[in-house]
Structure 1
Amino acid sequence: MHSFIETSLTRPWTTCSAMIHRLPVEILQAIFLLAVDNGPDCPSIFSYEATTISANFASPPLLFTRVCHHWRDVARSTPEIWSRIEVKLPPVSVKPLTPFFTSLLQFWLAQSDNLPLTIHMASNYSSWDGNSRLLEILCNETRRWETVIGFAPAFDSSDNFNTPQLRTLDPIWDLSNLTKFNAPKLCRVRICSLYDNILSLRPNAACGNIRHLCLHQTSVNRIHYFPDIFPRLETLDVRLLQIAPDYVLDMENHSDTYSCLESMTLPFVHGPPDMYAMIFRGHHFPALQELILLVGAGKPEVEMITEALAVAGSCNIRVVDFWLHKSRMDLYVPTLKQLLSVAQEVAVRGEVVVRREQSGP
């Protein structure tokens, strides 16, 4: 023991290194997983300077392969640390990629064995030009895609995608892109726009299983078709809402019940006073519990929301939550009490401001 302490004091780095090498492989693998999990959501494979690109050996998991032979062997036998990846496509200012970088991407994906993949693409539109080989390598792994973020331009092609494990897709450009996916497990999608022809759309299994939908922009009219397209929808988040006056609804041939919808997020809208009522009129919301509003909470807005919820069939909403205000101090509480005729609670950023009084037993 005395000899070990003396050695530790005189040669601390050598001793620590030796002790690390004595760790069981399973412990070292757990450490590697913790290091990756405590880093960015997706470890990045590339690093950039102004006009150059390099491999990101300064961060896990590539870092582990440069420490020593033992660490490299353990890292390569731990597929979990390779199952998430951020691929930053080089901008046009960066010199063309050499074969090394495509080989590195293939190496990374090979180390993940057959685990489901989380892929995060970071790029601007111009960087998609000249990087077709990187995209081809990623698209060769579609059967293992589980979460895909930022891959939107690839989905504009005429190809179909066999993605049996895909659960999250963020974003796609429009609704018609969903018909290109064989994705029976898909449950979460963000769509950039929804201005394609809904009447001509033939929903597939990918549409039918979606639970969570976020829309950058759509129209009030098209929301009336969502129960047919997304029958299992649980949350609907709309960020820009407009009216399409030239769009004629076929009211007799679509469902009027959001049977599973529990939460809806609506933005501020520039439109007629009954804009929100147009969304709820003629629909049934038996499961709706939460309405999140990215609007002010003055008297006009409160009156519009109250009217809208009053016309919603079978709606027994629990809370109306205003997210535009920074705190409850910005609100005139007596105005909000009007909403208690159609909701049990009114909140600001999740904090309850007023609550309906419970009746007696």
Structure 2
Amino acid sequence: MGHRNPLDLITGKDLGLQTVRNGVSYCPPQLGEENAVIIQSNTSCRSLSSPISRLPTEILSEIFLYCLPEDEHLVYASRQAPMLLTRICRRWREVAVGFPKLWCRLQVEFWYEGWQERTIRDWETRAFGYDSWLKRSGGRPVSLRLECGTDWSKLQSLLQPYAQQVSSLLLGFISCDGPFMMEDFHALKELTIRQYICNDPARAVNCSLSKLPLNLRRINVENVWFNRNRLNAFADSALARLTHLEINVDGRHACTHILRLCPNLSSLKMTGLFHPSQTAEPVTHTNLQSLHLSWTVLRNFGGDPGLFNVITLPNLRVLEVSVRGVWPHESFMEFLTRSKCPLERLVFHSTVWATEEQQAEYATLIPSFEILAEDSTGVFSYV
């Protein structure tokens, strides 16, 4: 017998019970009570004879974990785990509801104004479901994805009792009128911001970043563009505490400004849009260990962005580059000499144009030099 998904077994059992219930509904009313007793007895006998019914609660709970979708955040849906697990039988419901690990990831949606009539009508029902879900997390750290198309007030109100549990937060700005304020989310360590519309909701995003919780260490805003002025929207103290950052920047001066604002960064993933005439003041960052770079030079496709001329990273250990164009070999070698960094790993995506002589030199100088090859599906692998 081939491998079967646990959810297939659950769904099959659920449908079987529903078939029994449908059959009962057609019985004459006077037989309703007798049939209910028979069905309950039959179900109990079948449950007792089922091997899974004799599993200890601890083992059944672990099996339930494998039933969860692999998505980073789970949707509130009756035919998906963990909600599906509460609909099979009384014992499964008790085990699922009493197992907080099942309820620590959730996607919460409040959509945009074009759907406002439906949204308002459905919100109370969905809010009750979201609240029940979060209660079942039992005070454990939770990871949330929030997507909003109007204003954040209803979501803020819903989450207020659980603010101290939220350790990871993804905010999806669709068409928002105002910010999502996070200063009370004292347990928040990871923040991701996405914007899904063409017109930039800069005011909402900027205000959301103006007051950040003290324990925040990771920020991912890699599909939001920041120039030097917009970087000022960040709370300065929050940037100073960051250890990991993923961001898009407009201008070489914005890039160096980030390094000044974030002295404790150990990991930075940055995509830059540079202009040949732009200048920037040199900067030294002593804590950065991992750097992932991608850039485009306007009106000079594949040109040298000049970035390696203005940065010094004495503690850099890993550098990954995914640019499309000629690699600035000379300025990079000067950067290595100036930084005197213990670079252990250099990774080029296949779009980086480096000569065989340059590649051979890197293979000699750096303990691990790798080139990622892109296949027909767009997936990179090492060569």
Q: TM-score, normalised by structure 2?
A: 0.69
Distance 2:180 2:64 in 1: 40
- In structure 2, the partner of 1:307 is 331
- In structure 1, the partner of 2:164 is 143
Residue 60 of structure 2, aligned match among 2, 16, 28: 28
- In structure 1, the partner of 2:101 is 80
Residue 265 of structure 2, aligned match among 233, 237, 242: 233
Distance 1:277 1:349 in 2: 22
1:215 aligned to 2:247?
A: yes
Stretches of structure 2 lacking an aligned partner (at least 5 in a row): 1-42, 195-201, 374-380
Verify the 8 A CA contact 2:100 2:140 in the aligned structure 1.
Answer: yes
- In structure 2, the partner of 1:162 is 184
- Gap change, CA 1:68 and 1:200, over 3 Å in 2: closer
Shift of 1:237: 1.3
Distance 2:149 2:231 in 1: 32
1:347 aligned to 2:374?
A: no
> Larger helix proportion, structure 1 or 2?
2
Q: Letter of the aligned partner of 1:318 in structure 2?
A: E
Structure 1 segment 1-361 matched on structure 2, within 5 A: 14=46, 18-36=50-68, 39-45=70-76, 56-90=77-111, 92=114, 95-96=118-119, 97-98=121-122, 99-121=124-146, 123=147, 128-129=149-150, 133-134=154-155, 136-138=157-159, 140-152=161-173, 156-157=178-179, 159-171=181-193, 177-191=208-222, 192-195=224-227, 197=229, 203-243=235-275, 251=281, 256-271=283-298, 276=304, 278-296=306-324, 301-302=326-327, 304-311=328-335, 313-316=338-341, 317-325=343-351, 333-337=356-360, 339=362, 346-349=369-372
Q: Identity percentage over the alignment?
A: 18
- Gap change, CA 1:80 and 1:163, over 3 Å in 2: same
Where 1:129 maps in the other structure, the secondary structure is coil
Question: Aligned pair count?
Answer: 317
Distance 2:295 2:193 in 1: 22
- Gap change, CA 1:262 and 1:65, over 3 Å in 2: same
Distance 1:188 1:222 in 2: 17
Distance 2:357 2:283 in 1: 34
- Gap change, CA 1:202 and 1:157, over 3 Å in 2: closer
Q: Letter of the aligned partner of 2:192 in structure 1?
A: D
Verify the 8 A CA contact 2:276 2:305 in the aligned structure 1.
Answer: no
Verify the 8 A CA contact 2:285 2:312 in the aligned structure 1.
Answer: yes
Verify the 8 A CA contact 1:277 1:305 in the aligned structure 2.
Answer: no
Q: TM-score, normalised by structure 1?
A: 0.72
